[in-house]
Amino acid sequence: MARFSYEEAENYGGNGGHGFFSLANDGDVAKVRFMYNKLEDIEGVAVHQIEVNDKKRYVNCLREYGKPVDDCPLCKKGMFVNAKLFIPVYDIESGQVKIWERGKKFFGKMASLCSRYASKEDLVSHIFEVERHGKKGDTQTTYEIYDCEKDGTTLEDLPEVPDIVGGLVLDKDKDELQYFVDYGDFPDSDNGGRRKSEEMPVRRRTPATVNNEDTF
């Protein structure tokens, strides 16, 4: 599983119930808690974007940085790798845990927050206001984050953080990823693309189409 810490983030390519957190329009704001204690708790995940059952999904990349491409069948096939942060936030207004999908460059923003606000107490004890600067669809959109208050809240006071790998990100082993490269789906997996017939699969000649962001 290719996970990476803040110190390792530069080894990976550039950007991008339990719902997704988003601010859709310029000037939108929301108050949240970042569900971390310290910078060391934050991990990025290296993933491939694939298409199964006509839906785009993320799947884990099996290759650690600097390791042979043979370690991951999707890397060996030349499919791009996305370096992502899936940040759990507690949305104050809705009272729900949501996932904020960010590119690896956002690690710098999180590092700054931890340096400023998590040196003496845990980051989760702070409520922050997040403000979007950029119209919908603008690839240059940025986010300003302002500290509002701290109140001693701990992770134990909040709902459980969902598992990213095995949930939002499909968790597949080498044999399953090779099967996907060959046949375009996964064997006997409801959330990864169950075959719709008992016929023998036809071997694929090319991998699924994916985007080309966040390579390493």
Number of Cβ within a 10 Å radius of residue 59: 23
pLDDT (mean) for 6-31:
70
pTM of the model: 0.77
Give the tens place of pLDDT for each residue, 142-189.
999 999 999 999 999 999 998 999 999 999 999 999 999 999 999 865
pLDDT at 2 over 80: no
Domain ranges of the chain: 3-183
Give the tens place of pLDDT for each residue, 33-62.
999 999 999 999 999 999 998 899 999 999
Of 163, 93, 158, 98, the C-alpha closest to 124 is 158
Cα-based angle 54, 216, 116 (whole degrees, multiple of 5)? 100
Lowest mean pLDDT among 7-21, 35-49, 79-93, 189-203: 189-203
Q: What is the pLDDT of residue 197?
A: 34
Q: How far is CA 61 from the centre of its chain?
A: 12
Burial of 9-44, coded b for 16+ CB within 10 Å and e otherwise, reads: beebbeebebeebebeeeeeebbbbbbbbebebbbb
User: Tokens 């390519």 correspond to what residue?
Assistant: 13
Phi, psi of 56 (to 5 degrees): -80, 130
Q: What is the pLDDT of residue 87?
A: 97
First to last CA, the chain: 15
Contact present, 126 and 149 (Cβ < 8 Å): yes
Q: Choose the CATH number for 3-183 among 1.10.357, 3.90.198, 3.30.70, 3.30.519.
A: 3.90.198
